[in-house]
Amino acid sequence: MKSKLATAIALVGLMHSSVLYALGLGDIKVSSAVNERLNAEIPLVHADGLDASQILVSLASKADFARAEVERNYFLSSLEFTVERGESGTPVLRLQTPDVVLEPYLNFLVELRWPKGRLLREYTVLLDLPNYSAAPARIVKPVVVSAPPVTPPPNRTKTKPVVRSSMPAKPSATPAANTPSSNNNLAAEAGSAVTVRANDTLWRIAKRVREEGASINQTMLALQATNPNAFINNNINLLKKGAVLRLPVGMSANRVSEQEAQQSVAEQQLDWQSGQSNSNTDLNPVLDARESTQSSAAQPEATEGHLQLAAVDDAASVNALINNDSDTRSLAGNALDQGVSVEINRLRNELAISLENLDRAAVENTTMDTRLAAMESQLGDLEQLVSLKDQELASMRMAIEERKAALEAAATDSAQDDATPKTNANTPVAEVGPLEALANTLSISVEWLVGIGVAFVAALIAIFMWFFARRDDAYEATVFERVEPLADEDIDTSLDEDEAEEESYDMAVDESADA
C-alpha cells in the first residue's frame, strides 16, 4: 500500500513539474502612447534551455480569433514580433508596429510555438495619451486685434471669435494690430503646396514634408496654423478632402516647443474622439480696441506660442467668414466623410478580408469542380470497360452454347446412324466426323488391346505354374534320407532307375511343351 502511494505521489510530482516549467507568456508592458508607434514587451516565462531560433511567435490565425470571439482588425496584421534579451538578461517578446497607433484600444491573440508545445494568449492593450510634465501650462491672455468697425450681415445675430494660432519666433516690437499680416507673409514665403487626397491624414502629410529638427507634432501644428481653412472645427483630425495645404518654410515648424505640440495634439485628439472640438465652445469676450494696445504692451515677455483672438468685426475676418460659409456648405458631405474615416477604413478592411475569403472560396470551388470532372471522366471510363467485359462474356457464352448444341447434334446423329439397319450395300455411307472416327478407332483398338492383354496374362500364369512346379520337384530331389549301405549291384540298379525316371520326366515336359 505504501509503495503504491509513493508511486502516485511521484507521478503527480512529475506532472506538476512538467506543467510548472512549460514555456509561457507574462503580462504585457506598453511603453508607447496614442499617435505613436507601438512599443511593448512581454516576458517569456520558463524559457531556460530554449534558443531564440526555437521560439516562434506570431499573430494567431483567423480561425483562432473566431474561436476566441475576438475581432481581427486589419491593423493587427502589421504587428511585428521579435524575441530578444531584456535588460535583466531574460528573454522577452518585443511588439512593434511600423505605423502609429491611432486607436487607444487594441485586442489581439498571440500564438507561441516551441518544439514541445503551442500556446495562445489574449492581450488587451489600453494606450494612454502622451505623458506631460506636471508643470502647468502658462496661461496667455488673448490679444484682441483692433479693426475698423464693419457692419455685420443682417442674418447674423451674434459674433464669435475666430481662433488663430500665432507663433512668433522672437519677441516682436510691432503692435498687435499688425499681427494679422503674419499669415500673409508666411503664405508668401511658402515654396510649395500639397493637395489633400482621399485617405490622407495630417500625420502622413507632416511626416513627408517635415523639416530637419522638427517633430511630426510640430509640423502638424505649423500646417494647421498656415492653413486654418483646411480643417473642420479647427481640429487636425478633420482635414478637408481636396484642400490645398501651403507648406511652411524656414523654422516656422519649430516655433512651438515639443511639449506644447504634444499637449495640443493630445487635446485635439480627445476632442475629436468625444465628438467635440475646441472651436465649438461659445466664446464671447468683450472686445475693445483700447484694451488691445494695453494688452499687447502689458505682455512683451510672451515669446512662446499663444492663442490670438481676432474679432469678427475685422473686415478681412468677416470676408473670410463669408467665403468660408459657402465653402462649408459645399464641403458638408466631405466633413461627414472625414468624421467617419476610421469607420470607413475598418469597413474597407472587412471588405478586403471578405473579398479575400470569396476569392479563396472561388479557387476552392474551381479546384473541386476540376476534381469532380476528373472523377466523372474516370467513372465513365470504368463504365465503358465494364460494358466491354460484359460484351466479351456474352460472346463467350454464345460460343459455348453453340459448341454444346453442335456436340449434342453430332451425338444424336451418330446414335441414329447406329440404330438404323443396313438394308442395301449401295446405300451411301454417312460422313463420319472427326470425333466419331476417333471414337471408332479407339473402340477397335481397345478390343485388340483387351485380347492381347488376356493372352499375355494367360501366358504369364502358365509360366508361373511351370516354374513353381519345377521348383517343387527340385526341392523334393534334394531331400536326403539315411539308408543302409547298398551293394554295388543295388547302386547300379538305383542309378539305372534314376536315369529312367529322368528320361521319363524329360519326355513328359517335352510333351507338355508341344501341347
Contact yes or no for 195/180 (Cβ under 8 A)? no
**What are 405-422's pLDDT values in tens digits?**
888 888 887 777 666 655
**Range with top average pLDDT, 120-124, 191-195, 262-266:** 120-124
Element (H, E) at 142: none
| Average pLDDT value for the chain | 70
The pLDDT of residue 434? 64
pLDDT value, residue 428: 54
More confident residue, 137 or 180: 137
- DSSP tally for the chain: helices H, then strands E: 12, 13
Of 143-152, 372-381, 496-505, the range with the lowest mean pLDDT is 143-152
- Whether 110 has a pLDDT exceeding 90, the answer reads yes
Of the candidates 309, 308, 240, 232, the residue with the CA atom closest to the CA atom of residue 277: 232
pLDDT, greater one: 163 or 38: 38
Q: Which residues, in sequence order, are bridge partners of residue 122?
A: 109
Cα 209 to Cα 207: distance, rounded to the nearest angstrom: 6
Q: Is the pLDDT of residue 25 over 80?
A: yes
What's the pTM? 0.28
| pLDDT at residue number 400 | 93
Lowest mean pLDDT among 16-25, 132-141, 451-460: 132-141
Could you tell me the end-to-end alpha-carbon distance of the chain, in angstroms, rounded to an integer? 110
Among 116, 95, 80, residue whose Cα is nearest residue 43: 95
Q: pLDDT of 202-226, one tens digit each?
A: 888 888 888 887 888 888 888 888 8
pLDDT band at 197 (very low <50, low <70, confident <90, very high): confident
Most confident option among 313-327, 357-371, 412-426:
357-371
Would you place residue 515 in the very low, low, confident or very high pLDDT band (cuts 50, 70, 90)?
low
pLDDT per residue over 31-61, tens digit each? 998 888 999 999 998 887 788 888 899 999 9
Looking at residue 211, the DSSP 8-state letter turns out to be P
Q: What is the pLDDT of residue 472?
A: 66
Q: Which has more pLDDT, 293 or 308?
A: 308
Tally of residues, the chain: 515
Provide the grid cell at 142: 488673448
Contact 107, 124 (CB under 8 A): yes
Q: Is residue 107 left, alpha or beta, with left meaning phi > 0 and alpha meaning psi from -120 to 50?
A: beta
